[in-house]
Amino acid sequence: MHAITPSFTPSGVPTSYYNLFAAAKLEQAPPLDPQSGQPMAPDKLAALFPMALLEQEMTSEVHVPVPGPVLEAYAAFRPTPLRRAALFEKALGTRCTILYKYEGASPVGSHKLNTALAQAFANQQQGVRRIATETGAGQWGTALAYACRRFEIDCSVYMVRVSFDQKPARRTMMELYGATVRASPSEATTFGRAVLADNPSHPGSLGIAISEAIEDAVTHPGTKYSLGSVLNHVLLHQTVIGQEALRQLDELGLFPDVVIGCHGGGSNFAGVAFPFVHHKLDGKALRIIAAEPQSCPTLTRGEYRYDHGDTAKLTPLLKMYTLGSDFVPDPIHAGGLRYHGAAPQVSALVNRGLVEAQAFEQMETFRAAHTFAISEGVIPAPESAHAIAATVRAAREADQAGEPRVILFNMSGHGLLELGAYQAYMQARQAESKPAP
Amino acid sequence: MHAITPSFTPSGVPTSYYNLFAAAKLEQAPPLDPQSGQPMAPDKLAALFPMALLEQEMTSEVHVPVPGPVLEAYAAFRPTPLRRAALFEKALGTRCTILYKYEGASPVGSHKLNTALAQAFANQQQGVRRIATETGAGQWGTALAYACRRFEIDCSVYMVRVSFDQKPARRTMMELYGATVRASPSEATTFGRAVLADNPSHPGSLGIAISEAIEDAVTHPGTKYSLGSVLNHVLLHQTVIGQEALRQLDELGLFPDVVIGCHGGGSNFAGVAFPFVHHKLDGKALRIIAAEPQSCPTLTRGEYRYDHGDTAKLTPLLKMYTLGSDFVPDPIHAGGLRYHGAAPQVSALVNRGLVEAQAFEQMETFRAAHTFAISEGVIPAPESAHAIAATVRAAREADQAGEPRVILFNMSGHGLLELGAYQAYMQARQAESKPAP
C-alpha cells in the first residue's frame, strides 16, 4: 500500500492530513439522499458545506495539504505533547510502558480545535459569513467558536439544553469567543418549536441539536453548517494527532503494541488510530481499540446499516454502526460520547476486524481517570476516561500474559470544566464503600 | 556581579534555581521574631519548615541545585511554552512584539506547582508526614495537594471560606488529589474558633487562613507548614520561569525591553523577573513592571516597613510593602492578588527603583484579558489579567513613543476555573454599554 511519508514543520507539525482509505484503497459505502435513497448528489451537500471540505470528504489523495493559515494556527499549540505516564504505570503496578498524546494542551482544551480551524478557514475562503453547529457537552462548540473568531466568521451554536443549563462554564467560554449560544430545542427553528410544543421542558439531545443547526444553515443566507465528528473530512483533520504521535514515538525508539482512543462520533479515535492502521495493514502486530460507554454502546452492540445522523432525518443516510437515530442514551458525564451513530470510516474498520471496540461502565472509567489524575496530575475529560479504562484493561491483560507491552492512548481533552462529574464520582465511591445499613 | 551561567537539561529545564540577591550582593532586612522584635532565631522557624527550605531561605549560593526528583517532576510539564502573541499584537494594533511565558501549561494550571514540588520533596526528605497550608482562590492549594500526593505526604488545606463556597471546582480538584480541605475560619483551630465566635458567618481572609494553617502545623506531630509565596525560598523556586524565558528568547534572537508579571505575594513576578533584574543591574535598558490590583495596592500605595504576614500575628515580622496586616481587600476576582503584604525581596527591589509597580482597575484587566482570549484562544487567570493590562499599557506607550518594543509577560495561570468571573465581566460590560434610561 501507499507509504506514509508525511512531512513536518521544523517544530514537528504535520504539513498534510493522512487519508487512510485512499492510502489503503479501502472501500466506503456512499452517503445516501434521505429523500430518494440514492447516493447523495454533491450539489445538495454544497448547501451545507463549502466545496473545499466536500472535496476533502471524497478525495482520493493520500496526503491532503494543511492550508498555510491553518498550519500557522496549529503552530500555537501543536505538536501536542506525547508523554510517558511513568507514575500512572507505577500506580497500576504494571510492567507495560504507557504513553499518552495530550490533546488537552490546545487552547480550548481538546482535540476539536484541529478540525474547527480547518473548517472555519475553508468556510472563510469561500466567503461564508456565518456557521451554525450543535454541541453536546460543549467541547466542539467551544472549539468552533474560537476558530470562527479567528477567521472572522459569525458562529451560531445549538447547545443541548441539559448541558446549557448544567455547564455554564462552557457556554461562557463560547460567548467569550463571540458565539451566539442557544439552548436546544430552541424557539429559533421550526423543528425546535415543534419539539417544544410537544414537550416545553424537553432536555434536548445531540440529534435534535443537529437538526436545528442544519435548519439554521439552510434558512439563513451566507450560512453553512459544521459538524465536529463523524464525517470523513473531520476525521481527516484529526490525523495530525496520530502522525505526530508516530514521529514522537520514533524519536523515543518506540512503537506501540496497543493504540487506544475513546469513541463517540469517531474523530479523536480516528485521529490517533488511522496512521497506525496503516502499519497494521502492513503486517505489524498491533491492537487498535475504540473505547465507548456501556450506556451508549454503538460499536459493540449497534447494527451496521444505513441510518440517519439526526432526529429530524435531515442528514444523509450513512452506513455505520447505529443504535437507531431515535436512541436516547443515559445522561452520563461523558456527553461527547452520547451519540447513536459512529463515523462510517471507523465503522468500516470495526466491521473488517481492523479495530476492536470495548465498552466501559461509567464508574470504571472514573476509577481509571482518578488513578491517572493523582499520579500524573492531569485531570482527564470524562470522555478520555474511557480510553484510560481501556488502557488499564490492556495493561492488566499484558501483565497476565507476562508481556510488557507498549500502550499508547489519546487523551482527547482535559476535565477541568467537568470537575462536577468528579465530585459526583467521589460521592458515589464513598457511598459504595459504606457498609449497607 | 556574578554571571548567570545556569545549566539546563537537554529539553531545556534549568538544573538550578537562581538566587538574585546572592548574585548581586543585595541586602535584605532580616525577619524579626514577632514576640521579641529581634532577628528570628532559625530554630523557631524550624518548627514550621524543614531544614532544606530554611537553608534555601538564607543561602548565599547563587545557583541552588534543583534536586533530582524535583527535576524529574518538572520534566512532565517544563519547559513551559514561550509564545509570541502575534494575534494579540494584531488585535491591539501595536508595532510591539509581545511574548508570553505560559505557566498555565502545568498540570494544575499555574506556576504554583514549581514551588509546591520543591517544598513537598524537601519535607519528604526530612520525614515530614503532613503539611498544612492556606489557599485563597485555590491555585496554591491545588498545586500543593498534587505535590503532596506525588511525594506521599498528607495535605491539610485551609481555604478562605468565600472561595470554599464559591469555587467548588478548586475544592474538588484538591480533594481529588487527596487533600483534606476546610473552610477558613474553621472549627479545627483555636484561632478559627475565636474568629467564628465573634462572627459565625465570617467570609474569611488569607491572613486568617495563614494563622489557622500555622496553628495546625505547630499543634500536630509530624506536621510542617507551607507557604505558596512571599518567602525567599518560594521566590527562588519560581526562578525556573525566568531562566527558561531567557533561554527561549535567546533562541529567537530576542531580548525584552519590558518584563511584566502580576503581583500578589510576589512569587510569579519574582520567578519571571529576577533573572532579568540581573541584566538590568549589568546595565541593560530594561523596564521591569509588577502589576497589582487597585483594590489591593500593596506596592503602589503601601508603606515599606516591618509587618506581620497574617492576622493572628504568628508569622515573623517581614520588612515589606504593606497595607497593614488587618487590611481587608475588596472581593475582586483575582483572589491570588488579595494580600496585604509583599515579598520582602520584591519590596526591596521596588524600594531601590529596580522594579516599577503599577495598579489596575478590575474592568481594565478583564478587558485586556478578553482581547487576549479572543485573539490567542487561551483564557487567562484573573490574576494574570493584570499582567496583560500592564502589557497593553506598555505597548500603547511604546507606540506613542514610536518605539516598537519587545514586551515579555508571564501568564501565571489559565482562567478555566474562573469562567464565572468572565461571565460577570461580560454582564458588567453589557450594562456599561446600555444608555442611561
Q: Please write the tens of the pLDDT for every residue from B80-114.
A: 999 999 999 999 999 999 999 999 999 999 999 99
Q: Mutate which of A164, A423, A425, A430 to disrupt the B interface (most B C-beta within 10 Å)? A: A423
Q: What is the pLDDT of residues A107-164, one digit of tens each?
A: 999 999 999 999 999 999 999 999 999 998 899 999 999 999 999 999 999 999 988 9
Q: What is the pLDDT of residues A12-30, one digit of tens each?
A: 999 999 999 999 999 999 9
The whole-number average pLDDT for the span A52-76 is 96
Name the residue facing B176 among A168, A178, A370 (closest C-beta).
A370
Show residues of chain B in contact with A108, CB under 8 Å: 377
Cβ A178–B109 below 8 Å, yes or no? no
Percent of chain B with pLDDT over 70: 98
Residue A1 pLDDT: 52
Assign B98 to helix, strand or coil.
strand
pLDDT-derived band of residue A50, with 50, 70 and 90 as boundaries?
very high
Query: Dmax of chain B from CA atoms?
Result: 66
Query: What residues are paired with B413 via a beta bridge?
Result: B110
Between B162 and A358, whose confidence is greater? A358
CA A146 to chain CA mean position, Å? 17
Q: Which residues of A touch B (CB under 8 A)?
A: 76-77, 83, 87, 105-109, 113, 146, 149-150, 168-169, 172-173, 175-178, 370, 373-374, 376-379, 416-417, 419-420, 422-423, 426
Q: Provide the grid cell at A186.
A: 430552541
Query: Dmax of chain A from CA atoms?
Result: 66
Show residues of chain B in contact with A251, CB under 8 Å: none
Residue B100 pLDDT: 98
DSSP assigned state of A110: B
Q: What is the pLDDT of residues B215-236, one digit of tens each?
A: 999 999 999 999 999 999 999 9
Place of cell 519528604: B124
B142 has pLDDT over 70: yes
Q: Mutate which of A146, A252, A425 to disrupt the B interface (most B C-beta within 10 Å)? A: A146
B249 has pLDDT over 90: yes
Residue B436 pLDDT: 59
Residue B427 pLDDT: 94
Name the residue facing B173 among A146, A149, A379 (closest C-beta).
A379
Show residues of chain A in contact with B373, CB under 8 Å: 176-177
B1 has pLDDT over 60: no
Q: Looking at the complex, report in whole angstroms how far the Cα of residue A83 sits from the nearest Cα belonging to chain B.
A: 7
Show residues of chain B in contact with A181, CB under 8 Å: none
Task: Compute the 3-state secondary structure of chain B and give helix, strand, coil in percent, each to the nearest 5.
Answer: 45, 20, 35
CB B143 within 8 A of CB B77: no
Domain-wise residue ranges, chain A? 82-109+233-426
Residue B335 pLDDT: 84
Handedness of CA A148, A153, A158, A162 (dihedral sign): positive
Distance between CA B407 and CA B260 in Å, rounded? 8
Statement: the pTM of the whole predicted model exceeds 0.90: yes
**Residue A169: closest C-alpha in chain B:** B419
Show residues of chain B in contact with A77, CB under 8 Å: 377
Residue B312 pLDDT: 83
Residue A344 pLDDT: 98
The whole-number average pLDDT for the span B356-379 is 97
Q: Mutate which of B113, B117, B374, B417 to disrupt the A interface (most A C-beta within 10 Å)? A: B374
Q: Provide the grid cell at B96.
A: 510591539
pLDDT-derived band of residue B3, with 50, 70 and 90 as boundaries?
low
Q: Looking at the complex, report in whole angstroms how far the Cα of residue A70 sits from the nearest Cα belonging to chain B.
A: 14
Residue A86 pLDDT: 96
Show residues of chain A in contact with B150, CB under 8 Å: 87, 377
CATH class of A82-109+233-426: alpha beta
The whole-number average pLDDT for the span B34-56 is 92
Distance between CA B212 and CA B203 in Å, rounded? 14
Name the residue facing B376 among A107, A169, A379 (closest C-beta).
A107
The whole-number average pLDDT for the span A267-288 is 95
Name the residue facing A173 among B169, B176, B419 (closest C-beta).
B419
Residues in chain B: 437
Cβ A168–B420 below 8 Å, yes or no? yes
Cβ A426–B176 below 8 Å, yes or no? yes
Residue A4 pLDDT: 63
Q: Looking at the complex, report in whole angstroms how far the Cα of residue A191 sits from the nearest Cα belonging to chain B.
A: 30
Residue B107 pLDDT: 95
What is the DSSP pairing of strand A287-293 with strand A180-184? unpaired
B314 has pLDDT over 90: no
Peptide bond into A185 cis (omega under 30): yes
pLDDT-derived band of residue A268, with 50, 70 and 90 as boundaries?
very high
Cβ B374–A176 below 8 Å, yes or no? yes
Cβ A175–B83 below 8 Å, yes or no? no
**Ordered DSSP codes for B8-77:** B-TTS-BSEEE-HHHHTT---PPPB-TTT-SBPPHHHHTTTS-HHHHHHHH---SEEEPPHHHHHHHTTT
**Residue A143: closest C-alpha in chain B:** B377
Residue A396 pLDDT: 98
Cβ B150–A420 below 8 Å, yes or no? no
The whole-number average pLDDT for the span A361-374 is 97
Residue A325 pLDDT: 87
Distance between CA A142 and CA B379 in Å, rounded? 12
Show residues of chain B in contact with A379, CB under 8 Å: 107, 173, 176
CB B339 within 8 A of CB B265: yes
Sequence-separated (6 or more) residues with CB below 8 Å from residue B319: B28, B29, B304, B305, B306, B344, B347, B348
Place of cell 532586612: B29
A255 has pLDDT over 70: yes
- Other Cβ atoms less than 10 A from the Cβ of A362: the count is 22
Lowest mean pLDDT among A17-31, A215-229, B32-46, B383-397: B32-46
pLDDT-derived band of residue A327, with 50, 70 and 90 as boundaries?
confident
Residue A322 pLDDT: 97
A2 has pLDDT over 70: no
Instruction: Classify B382 in phi/psi space as left (phi over 0), alpha (psi -120 to 50) or beta.
Output: alpha
The whole-number average pLDDT for the span B26-51 is 92
A434 has pLDDT over 90: no
Show residues of chain A in contact with B85, CB under 8 Å: none
Show residues of chain A in contact with B113, CB under 8 Å: 377
Q: What is the ipTM of this complex?
A: 0.93
Average pLDDT of chain A?
Answer: 95
What is the Cα Rg of chain A in Å? 20
The whole-number average pLDDT for the span A89-102 is 98
The whole-number average pLDDT for the span A253-258 is 98
Assign A261 to helix, strand or coil.
strand
Backbone φ and ψ for A312, nearest 5 degrees, come out as -80, 0
Residue A437 pLDDT: 57
Task: Give the ranges where B105-189 is alpha helix by DSSP (H).
Answer: 112-125, 139-150, 161-166, 168-176
Show residues of chain B in contact with A76, CB under 8 Å: 83, 376-377
Q: Mutate which of B419, B426, B429 to disrupt the A interface (most A C-beta within 10 Å)? A: B419
Show residues of chain A in contact with B149, CB under 8 Å: 374
Read off the amino acid at residue A2.
Answer: H
